[in-house]
Amino acid sequence: MSATVIPSPTDVGALANRINFHTREQHNEIGLQMGVKFAFAMRHGFIYRQGVLAYYYAFNAIEQEIDRILENATTQEEIQTRDILQQFWVDEFRRSDMIFKDLELLFSKEYPCSASLRMFLAENVLPPEQQNFVDYIHSGIKAAPTSVLAYCHVLYLALFAGGRAMRSTMYRNTGLFPQFPDLTPQEVVKRGTNFFTFSQDGVMAENQLRKDYKRGYELATRQGLSEEQKLHILEVSKEVFRWNTRIVSEIGEINRQELMGKLSFKLITFVFEEWQHTEKLTRKQKSFVLAMGVVIQILAMYWMLRRLF
C-alpha cells in the first residue's frame, strides 16, 4: 500500500477501522439512544442546553491534554503522541472554543458577557457522571498519553459524521434558541450551532477537512504505535461510548427528578413526550401510554385554566 493512500474500510490494520469494528455494538446503542434523546431535546431547549454544557467540559478536558502534549511533551510516550498529533491535528478541529460561542448564545440571558460566562463555567459544579468523565479523561491521558487518540477518532469524527444532520434539524427547530429582536431565527441558529460546524467556507471545505483528518490519522497511527498501545486505545474507545451513555442518562434523570417535584405544564409535556419515545412497548403498554396521554392533556388544561381564572 502506498504511504500516501488512505486505508480502505476493509483494511483491518488501520487503527480507525479496528476501533469501528470493535465498538460497532456500542456505536449502534449510543446512536439509537442519541437519536431518541436528541429528538426529545429538540422539544425542550433547557435539556438541549444542558447537553451542550456537558460536552463543553468533555471537549475542553481533551483539548487541555492535547495542548499540554503538543506544547510540553516530556516523557517518551508524550513525545511519541506529540509526533502523531502533529500529523493530523489542526486548530479547525478544536471544539471547546466553538462550544463556548454556542453557550454565549444559549446563556445570554443569565450571562450577558463572555467574562461572566467564563466565571460560571469555572465555578459550576458538575453532576457526578460528568465530573467523573472529565477526571477520567485527564487521568487516563496522563497515564497513557497515546490514549488521547481514542477521543480523536470516536468523538471528533462522530461530529464530522453527524454534525451536518444536526445543523439541518436545528434549522427546522428555531424555537430551541433564545430570541433576539435584531436577528432572524435562521441567524440565531447559525450563531448557536458552532459545535457542529468545522468550517465557515461551506460543505466542500468541511469534506476536505474531514478527508485530511482521516488520512493523517490513519497514516500516523499505522506505524507510530505498538500493538499494545493500539489495544489500549481500543479499550478506551469502548469506554468513551459507555461514558456518553451514562452522561446522557444522567441528564435525563436530573430533569426527571427536578420536574417531578412540581406540577407544571413543563412537567406534563416532558413526561408525555418521553413516554411517547419509549422503545419496544407492548400493546398493553402502548394503550396505557395513550390513556395516560389523555389524562395528562386534561390535567394540563385544568392547570392552565386555574392559572387564567
Of the candidates 274, 263, 273, 258, which has an alpha carbon nearest to the alpha carbon of residue 300?
A: 263
- 105 pLDDT higher than 90: yes
pLDDT of residue 126: 97
C-alpha cell at 241: 461510548
Residue 259 reports pLDDT greater than 70: no
- Mean pLDDT value across residues 292-304: 44
Stated pTM of the model:
0.78
Provide the strand spans (E) within 164-273.
Answer: none
Under 8 Å between Cβ of 251 and 50: yes
As a whole number of angstroms, the distance between CA 282 and CA 201 comes to 48
CA 124 – CA 112 distance, rounded (Å): 17
Percent of the chain with pLDDT over 90: 45
Model pLDDT for residues 212-247, shown as the tens digit of each residue: 999 999 999 988 899 999 999 999 999 998 998 899
pLDDT in tens, 34-93: 554 555 555 567 788 898 999 999 999 999 999 999 999 999 999 999 999 999 999 999
Q: Write out the E strands in the chain.
A: none
- Predicted confidence (pLDDT) at residue 299 exceeds the cutoff of 50: no
Report the share of the chain in percent with pLDDT over 70: 71
State the amino acid at position 266 in one-letter form.
K
Residue type, 44: H
Q: Which fold has domain 15-261?
A: Heme Oxygenase; Chain A (1.20.910)
Residues 204, 102, 168, 237, CA torsion sign: positive
The binding site consists of 27
Average pLDDT over residues 97-105: 96
Binned at pLDDT 50, 70 and 90, residue 113 comes out as very high
265 versus 217: which is more confidently predicted? 217
Contact 41, 52 (CB under 8 A): no
Burial 132-144 (b: 16+ CB within 10 A, else e): ebbebbeebbeeb
Q: Which cell numbers hold the place of 163?
A: 454534525
Closest CA to 128 of 209, 245, 247: 247
Domain limits, the chain: 15-261, 262-309
CA proximity to 66, closest of 160, 142, 155: 142
**Residue stretches of the annotated binding site for heme b:** 27
CA distance 244 to 155: 10
For 122, how many CA atoms within 13 A lie in the half-sphere containing its CB? 6
